[in-house]
Amino acid sequence: MYQNYHQAVEYLESLENSSKKDYMKNRHQDGKFFLERMQELINQTKINLKQFKFIHIAGTAGKGTTTAMVHNILYQANKKVGSYYSPHPTTTIERIKANNKFISPNDFVKLVNELKPTIKYMAINSKYGQPSYFEILLAIALKYFQNKKCEYIILETGCGGEFDATNIIPQPLITAITNIGFDHTQLLGKTLIKIATTKAGIIKPKSKFITTEKQPQLLKIFKKICQQKKVKFIAVKPNKLNNLNNNVLLASKIAKELKIQNKFITTGIKQTKLSCRFEIIQTKPIVILDGAHNLDKIKTVFTNLINIKFNKLYLIFTLNVDKDVKTIINYLSKILTTTLQNKPIEIILTKHLVTERQCADLEMIKKIFQTAFRQVNNKTWLKPVKNYKFDIKIVTNPHQALNQTLKKAKQNDLVLITGSFYLAGELRKKWISEEKIFMENL
pLDDT of residue 239: 64
Same-domain pairing of 270 and 341? no
Q: Amino acid identity, residue 356?
A: E
Are residues 353 and 382 both part of a single domain? yes
Of 319 and 184, which is predicted with more confidence? 319
Q: Are residues 256 and 338 in the same domain?
A: no
**Residue 387 located in a structural domain:** yes
Dihedral (Cα; 202, 206, 212, 218), 10-degree rounding: 60
**Does residue 437 form part of some domain?**
no
pLDDT tens digits, 289-331: 998 888 888 988 888 888 888 999 999 999 988 888 888 998 8
| Orientation of helix 3-16 relative to helix 133-147, angle to 10° | 140
How far does CA 234 lie from the centroid of its chain? 24
Mean pLDDT of the chain: 88
Same domain, 261 and 318: no
Task: Please provide residue 286's backbone torsions phi and psi, each rounded to the nearest 5 degrees.
Answer: -70, 130
Instruction: Convert the pLDDT of each residue in 194-239 to its tens digit.
Output: 888 989 999 999 999 999 999 999 999 999 999 999 999 999 987 6
CB 352 within 8 A of CB 422: yes
The domain containing residue 347 runs over which residues? 279-430
Across the range 146-175, mean pLDDT stands at 92
CATH number at residue 215: 3.40.1190.10
Q: Give residue-wise pLDDT tens across range 34-74.
A: 899 999 999 999 999 999 999 999 998 888 999 999 999 99
Prior bond of 117 cis (ω within 30°): no
The tally of CA atoms less than 13 A away on the side-chain side of residue 128 is 21
pLDDT attached to residue 6: 94
Whole-structure pTM value: 0.86
* 442 found inside a domain: no
DSSP string computed for 330-364: HHHHHHHHHTTTTS-EEEEE---S-TTSPBPPHHH
Is the pLDDT reported for residue 118 higher than 50?
yes
What tens digit of pLDDT does each residue of 276-286 get?
889 999 999 99
Residue 182 has pLDDT above 60, yes or no: yes
C-alpha–C-alpha distance, residues 434 and 387, integer Å: 42
- Whichever domain contains 364, its CATH number is 3.90.190.20
pLDDT digits (tens, 9 = 90+) for 25-42: 444 456 788 899 999 999
Q: Which of 51, 47, 55 is nearest to 74 (CA)?
A: 55
Q: How many Cβ atoms are within 10 Å of 122's Cβ, its own excluded? A: 20
Q: Are residues 143 and 290 in the same domain?
A: no
> Residue 223 contacts by C-beta under 8 Å, 6 or more apart in sequence?
233, 235
Q: Let me know whether 180 and 328 are in one domain.
A: no
Give the whole-angstrom CA distance, residue 84 versus residue 96: 5
Q: How many domains does the chain have?
A: 2
Per the domain annotation, does 436 fall within a domain? no
Among 274, 291, 310, residue at a domain's last position: 274
* Residue 440 domain-assigned (yes or no): no
Going from the C-alpha of 249 to that of each of 84, 246, 252, 265, the distances in angstroms are 21, 5, 5, 11
On whether residue 345 sits in a domain, the answer given is: yes
Q: Are 198 and 327 members of one domain?
A: no
Same domain, 369 and 338: yes
Examine the domain organization and report whether 240 and 337 are in the same domain: no
Q: Are residues 258 and 293 in the same domain?
A: no
pLDDT-derived band at 244, boundaries 50, 70, 90: low
Q: Are residues 10 and 59 in the same domain?
A: yes
Statement to judge: residues 204 and 125 lie in one domain? yes
Residue 438 lies in a domain: no
- Last residue of some domain: 253, 274, 295? 274
Q: Is residue 299 one of the residues assigned to a domain? A: yes
Cα 278 from Cα 273, distance rounded (Å): 10
- Residue at which a domain ends, from 220, 244, 274: 274
pLDDT category, 334, cuts 50, 70, 90? confident
Tell me the HSE value of 151 on the side-chain side, using a 13 A CA sphere. 7
